[in-house]
Amino acid sequence: MRFEDRTDAGRRLAPLLAHLRGQDVVVLGLPRGGVPVAFEVARELEAPLDLLVVRKLGLPRQPELAFGAVGEHGVLVLNDDVIEGSGLRPSEQQKVTQAQRAEVERQSHRYRRDRAPVPVAGRTAVIVDDGLATGATAEAACRVVRGLGAGRVVLAVPVGTERTVLRLRRAADEVVCLHSPRFFGSVGAWYRDFTQVPDAQVTALLHRAADPAPPDASPPAPSPSAGELPPANREIEIPTRHVRLAARFVLPEGAPAVVAFAHGSGSSRHSPRNRYVADVLNGAGLGTLLLDLLTTDEEDDRHNTFDIVLLAGRLRAAADWLRRETGLPVAYFGASTGAAAALEAAAVDSGIRAVVSRGGRPDLATPAALAQVRAPTLFVVGSLDGRVLSLNRLAADWMHCDHRIAVVPGAGHLFEEPGTLPAVAELARDWFTGHLAFTPDVYRHAISDGDRGRVRHGPGVTGRHDG
């Protein structure tokens, strides 16, 4: 038995836990690989999803042997037998514990942001990971949730070694393992796609579980009247001068800004790639507007999809509407031809806080417009998309604002390769959140040549500055 990926594993594992449906359950995913599996389990059980941030305490000279574990809320679990048998000195114990406590705090802040942990005291805690090899982290997790007062502990994994599963039955009240081969190898060997789960995906899944999106088929809601906050997380219509444009609007509570998406030719607000990026931005607390810049009838005329002036005008109308109705600053995310529309729109709107282009065609914007853009701009291009990368570099040469080109290794034009779209989402998230305080006129004059040369890279991403 092999799984396509962690989502497939979670969907296959979930039915084995159906007996817990209707009980007071909280599903806890071990970051990072356990979270996509846990997401599917939580959805099947209709139970809340949370992280279980836990770190095992390994002996300094034998890290694979744990003498305890630490978790959130200062939970500390020690194995006195290991401590006594190893001769671990108090100073060594304290040093390891302090280091792992700091890592727990760092991970908790990175993934949770300001979201409080779901209480587990007195509840059935279902701990989920993507597999069991040595089982040390899973065992530590079981000990930590008991320390948090869980009434019952269930450990659930898609695959694990036969010996480890048997041993962990002493740590958990119940162990559910879909596949337990005698000859195991490694966890990754049982997945066709075992790409490392990026932080952005963890954050996005937690957000989706806490605030699930409505079905795509739901009918568009009428646009709110002036002065009334638009409905968060639903389909709406944006009024423009001549037509009303369908859009999917998500506004997390306390959002500091809204990112309007301009899709490429032949795409729409239902684009799975842009929706993935939007989910990641929502997880970081940003609002998003996935907007159809053309009506259904207009899409039939191929000329309209390359009418950058028309698309830019409608994007500006959407930005005006967002500022009027929410009172929040606006940024743009453009893909393919939508990137050109975003830059043309930003050229005449000094209030736009930032622009991100994914596999964009900024060369379709006029040189005059590119030279007038004030918003910090990030161009994200796949390393395998040579022609578009060249076009992005040529377009960037016209720009005078702060801008970067980030090249995602192993990515093609559509970022369909494993791990490449999450890299795009992380880059966009960091760019937007890093420029929320941007004031165009002040920022333009404050940047020194040395500052412009700095490039921040996401995981597995190379970059260059072309200013």
Q: Considering just the CA atoms, what is the radius of gyration of the chain in Å?
A: 25
What's the CA gap between 28 and 209, in Å, rounded?
12
The Cα angle at residue 123 between residues 162 and 157, in degrees rounded to 5: 20
**What φ, ψ does residue 324 adopt, rounded to 5°?**
-70, -40
Strand order of the sheet with strand 62-71? Answer: 54-59, 62-71, 76-78
What's the CA gap between 393 and 467, in Å, rounded?
10
Collapse the DSSP code of 25 into the 3-class scheme (helix H, G, I; strand E, B; otherwise coil) and give the result: strand
Which tens digit of pLDDT belongs to each residue from 6-52?
999 999 999 999 999 999 999 999 988 999 999 999 999 999 999 88
Residue recorded with tokens 């497939």:
8
What's the CA gap between 362 and 371, in Å, rounded?
12
- Of the listed ranges 116-130, 200-214, 313-327, the least confidently predicted one is 200-214
Which tens digit of pLDDT belongs to each residue from 352-364?
999 999 999 999 9
**CB pairs under 8 A, 24+ apart, for 175-178?**
176/13, 176/16, 176/17, 177/132, 178/1, 178/9, 178/12, 178/13, 178/16
Collapse the DSSP code of 32 into the 3-class scheme (helix H, G, I; strand E, B; otherwise coil) and give the result: coil
Q: Tell me what percent of the chain is helix, strand and coil, each rounded to the nearest 5.
A: 40, 20, 40
Amino acid residing at 39: F
The proportion of the chain whose per-residue pLDDT surpasses 90, expressed as a percent, equals 42
Instruction: Read off the pTM.
Output: 0.49
Domains of the chain in start order, with CATH, are 6-210 (3.40.50.2020), 234-464 (3.40.50.1820)
Sorting pLDDT into bands at 50, 70 and 90, what band is 396? very high
**What φ, ψ does residue 337 adopt, rounded to 5°?**
-65, -25
Helical H segments across 113-234, by residue range: 136-147, 162-168, 199-210
What's the CA gap between 441 and 439, in Å, rounded?
6
E-strand stretches of 145-243: 152-159, 174-179, 234-239
What's the CA gap between 367 and 374, in Å, rounded?
14
* Amino acid 70: pLDDT: 80
Average the pLDDT over 212-217 and give the result.
Answer: 42
Which tens digit of pLDDT belongs to each residue from 413-439?
889 888 899 999 999 999 999 887 433
* Amino acid 45: pLDDT: 93
